[in-house]
Structure 1
Amino acid sequence: MLRIHFTAEDLARVRLAPAADPLWEMLLSAHTLGTGPAGGALGDWARWARPRLRADARLLFQLAPPRGYSADFLTPAGGSTRLEDGIETVLGTPRRRLRTDLAQLAGRPGSAEAVRLLAGGEASSLARLGSSLHGYFEATLAPIWRSVEDDVAADRAIRGRALLDGGVERLLRTIYPGARWESPVLLMPYPADRDLLLDGRGLLLVPSYFCQGLPISLLDPALPPVLVYPITHTAALPAGAGTRALDDLVGATRAGVLRCLATAGHGQSTTDLAQRLGASLPSVSEHMTVLRRAGLASTRREGRRSLHTITVLGRQMLRP
């Protein structure tokens, strides 16, 4: 059980992270990959992501083993919604903090190399860590980041409504099933028996796409208090999955017209589209009319031909 002790000042300083935190999502998605098969959306993502991992991702896994302690400095206080800012903060971790966190990992199977490499805080070692974080994000998270952001935003809307309707206490009660508010203490299921004293520092709530099971807090009680909690998500969308969803939404032929327009370097005539899709001219013409009305495509006359192009909104529809 986790018991978070609030003062009146703490209740006034409860904050909700403004958007998805890329560093927390990196760490927790690495846990997802390290724990073996998973079901649902995260299982689909894991099966897609594992073959994409780069060799330098090994360093991240050594610092963030799937069970037990992960280095606190990988998710710095305050967080950031921009990947570059977050990684810059990680690489600027003071050496004393590095040594403290790495000491917690010392002796854990598979972590010896990371501890040895980073304990001194040398620039070359930190650069290797930066490369590992960048590479991992680009390979496994960047293609689905829009989905992560959308589902975190949806959860924020739910929490905002709870705050407006019932104040901070209702917000705290609704972030996780089984959470109980026994003033001035928030109690919730947790892997260990622990008390977290806020002491006027407030609490940052971080909704997370990749958080599974129980909420998470930082081990060091001296760090700014953070509570990361799992959200409900619709589906992980690896590259290409978004186009299948678009087929279901607008129909395979109409979605095919959009893809043809997106991959063409110039406008496409109705005849061009019909030939590429293997469809009839009247069918393509009808689909183009619907797409224009929806603002997904546009048509201009050039001499005797009508040339069709995709709009910005149409391109957005094709994004995973």
Structure 2
Amino acid sequence: MLKIRFTGQDLARTRIAPAADMSSELVLSLHMLATRRSDGGLGQWREQLGRRWRPRSAMLFDLFSATDLPEFLTVRQDGRDTAEATAGGLDRTGREYLSGLGRLRGLTPFARDLAAGDRRARVLLGDLTAEYQAAAITPYRERIDLLVRAELRCRARQLATGGLDEVLATLHPDVRWRRRVLSLPMSPCLTEVDLGGRGLLLQPAVFASGRLVIAGFEAPREQPVLIYPIPGDRRLLMDDKVSPPSALTNLLGRTRAAALCTLAADGPLSTTGLAAALGVSAATASQHAGILAGAGLTTKERQGGTVVHRITLLTGRGSRDPRFTVCGGDEPSPTAAAAAAQR
């Protein structure tokens, strides 16, 4: 059990990440493959990756153990930039990581060359990382962003209504938050960590696959990061477009349910934008949005000559779909949804 102790200064500096971290997603996805962990609903992603897989990508598995992850693999928007950033990012800390990995289980020739600072091995590392990014991350980047943004919105609402105590207490089913101590099931023996006034960065991740990951605790000038899995069904990563849960469709009807999920997933939309997302006319989108607003599930706000629609806090608390759920919310009250369904 790992115990992280917070001071008042730590609590003041603890924050929620502003966006998805693609470098973490890449490393976590590789670790899931390298250790043959359960994919947590990512079976279709694994199947699609298999069709694009290059055998030499397996060399990246040499950098992992069951519990250790290399933090020096770096994702950039462009693959060439990824290759350069990763090749150039293997600093002394990265080489020390590889040396420690060698003491744990020995190193392959590739990992041994990296630990020694060999230039050709570093260039190869950059190329391998860029190739893996192109196959495993880039095709799903928008969906990863979407799922993480939905989680960040629900945490923001939770922070506004329940404070940081509620956020920390509901990060993961196995997390315990009590008396300024966050207890995590991450170590076979009791270990305590002092944040030293740095606070903690809370980073949700799609490829965390049901587990918690800590990073940056040993770097005194960096803010430690706690990576936690987003809740809900990771099969949503494979969706081409927002699909509402069947129960919600049965209650509201297909178009209204899709409108609600689209607003939750993509944020506030104009009537024209909502119509385009749903594949209906602006008049039809306006009609359905008006019914949802009348039931208290969405709001309408005029901005100049445009009407903007957005979901309400009531919607966040009332749904179990991870794209628009306030995490840890109460069981849904059917009143508002039923009112929309009857119109």
Separation in structure 2 between the aligned mates of residue 86 and residue 133 of structure 1, nearest angstrom:
7
Determine the structure 2 residue equivalent to 1:307. none
Determine the structure 2 residue equivalent to 1:166. 162
1:200 maps to 2:197: yes
Determine the structure 1 residue equivalent to 2:231. 232
How do 1:1-320 and structure 2 match up within 5 A?
A: 1-36=1-36, 38=38, 41-65=41-65, 67-74=66-73, 89-93=85-89, 95-107=91-103, 111-193=107-189, 194-218=191-215, 221-222=218-219, 224=222, 225-236=224-235, 242=240, 291=279, 293=281
2:25–2:206 CA contact under 8 A, matched in 1: yes
Taking a change above 3 Å as real, the CA distance of residues 82 and 8 of structure 1, as seen in their structure-2 partners, is: farther
Separation in structure 2 between the aligned mates of residue 126 and residue 181 of structure 1, nearest angstrom:
41
Taking a change above 3 Å as real, the CA distance of residues 137 and 205 of structure 1, as seen in their structure-2 partners, is: same
Taking a change above 3 Å as real, the CA distance of residues 208 and 87 of structure 1, as seen in their structure-2 partners, is: farther
1:45–1:237 CA contact under 8 A, matched in 2: no
Taking a change above 3 Å as real, the CA distance of residues 51 and 117 of structure 1, as seen in their structure-2 partners, is: farther
Determine the structure 2 residue equivalent to 1:311. none
Determine the structure 1 residue equivalent to 2:270. none
* Aligned amino acid, residue 23 of structure 1: S
Separation in structure 1 between the aligned mates of residue 32 and residue 168 of structure 2, nearest angstrom:
26
Taking a change above 3 Å as real, the CA distance of residues 128 and 12 of structure 1, as seen in their structure-2 partners, is: same
Taking a change above 3 Å as real, the CA distance of residues 214 and 39 of structure 1, as seen in their structure-2 partners, is: closer
Query: What's the TM-score, normalizing by structure 2?
Result: 0.63
Gaps of 5+ in 2: 255-277, 284-343
Separation in structure 2 between the aligned mates of residue 112 and residue 233 of structure 1, nearest angstrom:
37
1:53–1:139 CA contact under 8 A, matched in 2: yes
Taking a change above 3 Å as real, the CA distance of residues 244 and 178 of structure 1, as seen in their structure-2 partners, is: closer
Determine the structure 2 residue equivalent to 1:267. none
Separation in structure 2 between the aligned mates of residue 136 and residue 22 of structure 1, nearest angstrom:
12
Separation in structure 2 between the aligned mates of residue 87 and residue 18 of structure 1, nearest angstrom:
25
Gaps of 5+ in 1: 252-289, 296-320
2:159–2:166 CA contact under 8 A, matched in 1: yes
Taking a change above 3 Å as real, the CA distance of residues 127 and 201 of structure 1, as seen in their structure-2 partners, is: same
SS in 2 for 1:217: strand
Taking a change above 3 Å as real, the CA distance of residues 16 and 245 of structure 1, as seen in their structure-2 partners, is: closer
1:3–1:186 CA contact under 8 A, matched in 2: yes
Larger displacement relative to structure 2 (98-107 or 18-27): 98-107
Separation in structure 1 between the aligned mates of residue 155 and residue 98 of structure 2, nearest angstrom:
35
SS in 2 for 1:69: coil
Root-mean-square deviation over aligned CA pairs: 3.4
Tell me by how many angstroms 1:9 deviates: 1.1
Tell me by how many angstroms 1:238 deviates: 7.6
Tell me by how many angstroms 1:245 deviates: 6.7
SS in 2 for 1:176: coil
Taking a change above 3 Å as real, the CA distance of residues 118 and 294 of structure 1, as seen in their structure-2 partners, is: farther
Separation in structure 2 between the aligned mates of residue 37 and residue 197 of structure 1, nearest angstrom:
30
Tell me by how many angstroms 1:31 deviates: 2.0
Taking a change above 3 Å as real, the CA distance of residues 108 and 55 of structure 1, as seen in their structure-2 partners, is: farther
Determine the structure 1 residue equivalent to 2:341. none
Taking a change above 3 Å as real, the CA distance of residues 24 and 39 of structure 1, as seen in their structure-2 partners, is: closer
Q: Highest CA radius of gyration, 1 or 2?
A: 1
